[in-house]
Structure formats: C-alpha cells, structure tokens
Amino acid sequence: MELRKTIIVFVAICLLALSACDTGMFIVGIEITDYPHKLLYIISMDSGLDLEGGMVRFHHKSAPPSEPFRMDRSHGVDVRHDIDFTKEGIYAVTLFRHEEAQATFPIQVVSLETLESIVEASRE
C-alpha cells in the first residue's frame, strides 16, 4: 500500500512539473528577414519556385525571436502557393509553421516579351 501511495505522489509531482513548463517557445509568427534572390520568373524558362537566399525567423509567444535561417522544410517551414508558371501574373507564396504562424510574399511570372519590353522601357 505504501508503494502505491509513493507512486501516486511521484506521478502527481511529475504532472505538476510538466504542466508548469514554459510555453514561451510556442511559435506565434514568422518574419521574412531576406527575400529569395529570385522573385521574377519567366514563362518557358522557369518551372519551379526557387527559395534560395530567403531567410526567416520565428517569433515565440514569450521568448526572443529565433536567429534567421533558410526558408526550407529542414527547419519546419512549409510552403504553399498556386503559381502557374505558364501564365503571367503576380502570385502569393505563403510560408507557414502549423497554421498559427504565416508569412506571405509575392513573386511575378512574365513572358519573355513582357520582360524585354520592361527592359527596353527602363533604357528610355
């Protein structure tokens, strides 16, 4: 009987200790610190999203933000988009960690002709 009481007291103490754990590390936001190098995509030349150079940091409930890190799945950042690399337009890319923390940035898809006219207009 004494062993049973000891085990119950031990389990109760463990549960109390765990319930008091700090929830400050709970991620509540994502901040884009550096955008990817590539934000302009050309129809028939590009077919996939390139996040190279992109950096983000997590914001926690009651702790300092994390150090910036690469935009990729190895750090638990997922990517959502509906980019059609065959149609001109501006598309939204959303980075998220769970559903609570999200950050969005735009990319643009243009035809080669549109790109050439933009370059030509900038020379004038």
Sheet with strand 78-81: strands edge to edge: 40-42, 101-110, 89-97, 78-81
Contact 100, 76 (CB under 8 A): no
Domain assignments of the chain as residue spans, ordered by start: 24-123
pLDDT-derived band at 2 (thresholds 50, 70, 90) equals confident
User: What does pTM read for this prediction?
Assistant: 0.73
Helix or strand (DSSP H, E) at 98: none
Contact 104, 39 (CB under 8 A): no
Indicate the residue type of 59.
H
CATH 1.10.8.60 fits 24-123, yes or no: no
**C-alpha 27: how far from its chain's center?**
11
Nearest to 85 by CA among 36, 54, 48, 55: 48
pLDDT tens, position by position, 25-51? 588 889 999 999 999 999 999 999 999
Residue with tokens 């690469």: 70
